[in-house]
Amino acid sequence: MNIPIKLQDQTAARTLVGKVALVTGSTSGIGLGIARALAAAGADVVLNGLGAPEEIGRTREQIVADFGVGASYSPADMSKPKSIAEMIAATVAQAGRLDILVNNAGIQHVAPLEQFPVEKWDQILAINLSSAFHTTRLALPAMRQNGFGRVINIASAHALVGSPFKAAYVAAKHGIVGLTKVTALETAEEGITCNAICPGYVYTPLVEAQIDGQAKAHGISRDQVIRDVLLAQQPNKRFATVEEIGSLAVFLSTDAAASITGIALPVDGGWTAH
């Protein structure tokens, strides 16, 4: 008999028991999806990101209840190198190890180049790019000590192609692919891999929040907004899901992916095949 396999079941093989994973920006969206997928595979997780403390507490408790793993939280601000250093030090001190680092925290701002606010440029470069430099340089010693490590950078289709009005985001995401390659080369003989995942549009609360507004602004239906505005560049005309990105992060964290390093893997329904 053919029993359909749900995505969650694929990660339930518990291949990551005993591993400790830190996911930046994991209080919502893709980061939370990745943290839950890693926890489903048995890893203890450290959450990070902005949000109401009670809600973050509930998210953390839910992960413990659903997957029987440890889950802690760091409020570190990814635009501040000092907070990042404290977060990595506290993680290694408390857990005694750090095996999987997912650099996911990210923000966006849309404006033409001449009007792009300088402070927004600085903030996007700090959160979307420099934070990954800081977390990685500080996490590598703990990974080297165990001869095992996985660094997964959440880039974007915008790491591979540009779009108008997104100068800082596109520059930061292209930059993180460069950082991914250098990290992979410097760690290649040490059981450590570093890869970038490049999603197209992923269905997150952030995306959902745009649909009704765009429908009103353009005077079109929700379905038209999704197909003709948001997914205009995405040939398969469907959003990727946080579960799909989570499953890929789990796979990249396993021994099966030991030879995959330095890549930028599109998960974009064909967008960058154009």
Question: Taking CB under 6 A as the rule, does residue 27 contact ligand NAD?
Answer: yes
In the set 16, 25, 150, 243, which binds ligand NAD (CB under 6 A)?
A: 25
Pick between residue 109 and residue 144 the one whose CB is nearest to ligand NAD. 109
Residue 119's contacts (CB-CB under 8 Å, 6 or more residues apart) are none
Question: Taking CB under 6 A as the rule, does residue 77 contact ligand NAD?
Answer: yes
Give the Cα separation of 214 and 232 in Å (integer). Answer: 14
Closest CA to 186 of 153, 144, 227: 144
Pick between residue 192 and residue 198 the one whose CB is nearest to ligand NAD. 198
Look up residue 87 and give its DSSP letter: H
Give the Cα separation of 145 and 148 in Å (integer). Answer: 8
The residue from 73, 169, 201, 203 that is catalytic is 169
Pick between residue 32 and residue 148 the one whose CB is nearest to ligand NAD. 32
Is 169 a catalytic site residue? yes
Only one residue has tokens 């992916």, namely 257
Query: What binding mask, one character per residue, do residues 193-232 give for ligand NAD by CB under 6 A, x or -?
Result: ------x-xx-xxxx-------------------------
Only one residue has tokens 């920006």, namely 25
Is 63 in a helix, a strand, or coil? helix
Kindly report the backbone phi and psi dihedral angles of residue 33, in degrees, each rounded to the nearest multiple of 5, phi listed first: -60, -40
Pick between residue 142 and residue 160 the one whose CB is nearest to ligand NAD. 160
Question: Taking CB under 6 A as the rule, does residue 127 contact ligand NAD?
Answer: yes
Contact, 114 vs 156, CB < 8 A? no
Residues at the site binding ligand NAD, with contacts judged by CB under 6 A: 25-31, 48-51, 77-79, 104-107, 127-128, 154, 156, 199, 201-202, 204-207
Q: Which residues are part of the catalytic machinery? A: 169
